[in-house]
Amino acid sequence: MENSSGALDEALQRLHATGPEFEGWLSNHAPMAVEVLYWAARHAVLPDHRHHPADRSADEALASVPAVERTGGIRQRFARIEDLPAWPARDVAAPEEARERMRELVGAATRRYAFRAHGAPVMLVHAATAPNAVLRTLPALPRSLWRPSLRAAWAASAAVTAAYASGEAVQDAPAGASRTPQDVFARAAAHGDAHVLKFADTALDVADGPALASVLRAVELIGPDA
């Protein structure tokens, strides 16, 4: 059974060590601290992951997550999850590889938002921001926890995808490639919703056109009082 509480507990204990300035980076960790607390408070034991013979990209793995009945709150939906795909399909060999795979997961979840979030735009933010919250704490964690942190990040992202992602993808997305990151974040700031802001913060870490397009989609879909 997947139990992610250990890595999250360690992340919470050490989060203060990563900001507001850590290893030369200036950042505001308040939204990501809240994100880690959110998932720690909603800790659940998820089913054993299925094992697949060949490795896949994070995007392909998220696409293979089976949906559950879309009624009730997050605890009720998580309780319906019977299995989740394994990702990565093989054990990562080193802490650095765990960090790179987590970056891949954050990017995939962020880009998918533009096409799959229309049914639950607030909750689908967490498919990207939850693993990014863990990713940002890695420099302050013992390297021995980086690989279990990847498992925890995948479990959170996959579970949210199972519970909330729309089965039918929309065919169009806002034109993120024609916008600068500064412009997109300004749009998010003007919108003002906390979910839009922390999603925009995550998308700036990904920093490509599809990720920025997902922020513009969040601005469209999430109401100001969400």
**pLDDT tens, residue by residue, 182-206:** 999 999 999 999 899 999 999 999 9
Q: Please say whether the beta carbons of 100 and 135 come within 8 A.
A: no
Q: How confident is the model at residue 6 (pLDDT cuts 50, 70, 90)?
A: very low
Closest CA to 102 of 130, 141, 65: 130
Q: Provide the whole-model pTM.
A: 0.80
Instruction: Categorise residue 14: left if φ over 0, alpha if ψ from -120 to 50, beta otherwise.
Output: alpha
- Position 67 scores a pLDDT of 92
Q: How confident is the model at residue 226 (pLDDT cuts 50, 70, 90)?
A: low
Q: Please say whether the beta carbons of 176 and 194 come within 8 A.
A: no
Assign 22 to helix, strand or coil: strand
- Position 25 scores a pLDDT of 43
4 vs 182, higher pLDDT? 182
- Position 163 scores a pLDDT of 93
Each residue's pLDDT tens digit, 74-116: 889 988 988 888 898 777 889 999 999 999 999 999 999 999 9
Residue position matching structure tokens 């990501």: 32
Average pLDDT along the chain? 80
Q: How confident is the model at residue 56 (pLDDT cuts 50, 70, 90)?
A: confident
Neighbours of 88 (CB within 10 A): 20
Q: How confident is the model at residue 35 (pLDDT cuts 50, 70, 90)?
A: low
| Amino acid, single-letter form, for residue 120 | A
Average pLDDT of the residues in 140-169: 90
Using the predicted structure, report yes or no on whether residue 40 has a pLDDT greater than 70.
no
- The dihedral through the CA atoms of 164, 180, 103, 35 has a sign that is negative
Q: What are phi and psi of 21, to 5 degrees?
A: -130, 125
Q: Supply the DSSP symbol for 141.
A: S
**Residue 138 to residue 11: CA distance in whole angstroms:** 8
Q: Which two tokens stand for residue 120?
A: 């639950």
**Residue 206 to residue 190: CA distance in whole angstroms:** 21
Each residue's pLDDT tens digit, 110-129: 999 999 999 899 999 999 99
- Position 177 scores a pLDDT of 64
